[in-house]
């Protein structure tokens, strides 16, 4: 049976502090849901923004029943490749642009989350990336 997971992709080339890296990954993970529903509306009337296929996986993710894996890429270009591939395959995904107020001097793309969805579908996008 195929399991459900979310993969968080973080840029290593930015040499972020560990805390910053964790925060950016957490932003990406949560944005998959909050970008699809009104922040105050948690799966209320805005649920139509979540595809019918993805809804069961989102529900398992909300309940903490899917695994999360963190991998890395070495450039902004690689981060966008992962993001575009996930979008093109209709997988839930998000991309984080840091505002540049602390560690960076300008807005900077730092992380992507892919899923929650079936591992077999996510692995086609992220399976070749190295664990962080």
Tell me the pLDDT tens digit for each residue of 99-116.
988 889 899 999 999 999
SS3 at position 114: strand
pLDDT surpassing 80 at residue 82:
yes
Three-state DSSP at 10 gives: strand
For residues 95 and 82, the answer to whether their CB atoms sit within 8 Å is: no
Residue 73 in this model has a pLDDT that exceeds 90:
yes
User: Residue 69 maps to which CATH number?
Assistant: 3.40.1490.10
Cα(37)–Cα(50) distance, integer angstroms: 8
Q: What is the extent of the structural domain holding 88?
A: 4-131
**What angle in degrees, to the nearest 10, is found between the helix axes of 18-34 and 55-62?**
130
- Confidence at residue 44, expressed as pLDDT on a 0 to 100 scale: 43
- Among 32, 67, 26, 66, smallest CA distance to 49 is for 32
Tell me which residue has tokens 């190295």: 130
Cα 37 to Cα 46: distance, rounded to the nearest angstrom = 5
Q: How many domains does the chain divide into? A: 1
Instruction: Give 17-43 pLDDT, tens digit per residue.
Output: 999 999 999 999 999 888 766 544 444
Query: Which tens digits make up the pLDDT trace of 53-63?
Result: 777 888 888 88
In this prediction, residue 14 carries a pLDDT of: 97
């Amino acid at each position: 049976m195929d399991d459900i997971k979310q993969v968080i992709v973080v840029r290593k080339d930015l040499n972020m502090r560990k805390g910053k890296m964790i925060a950016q990954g957490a932003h990406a993970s949560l944005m998959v849901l909050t970008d699809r529903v009104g922040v105050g509306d948690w799966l209320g009337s805005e649920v139509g923004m979540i595809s019918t296929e993805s809804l069961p996986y989102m529900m398992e993710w909300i309940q903490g029943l899917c695994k999360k894996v963190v991998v890395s890429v070495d450039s902004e270009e690689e981060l966008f490749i992962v993001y575009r591939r996930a979008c093109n395959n209709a997988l839930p995904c998000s991309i984080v642009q840091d505002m540049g107020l602390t560690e960076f001097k300008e807005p900077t793309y730092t992380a992507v989350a892919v899923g929650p969805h079936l591992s077999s579908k996510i692995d086609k996008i992220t399976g070749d990336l190295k664990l962080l």
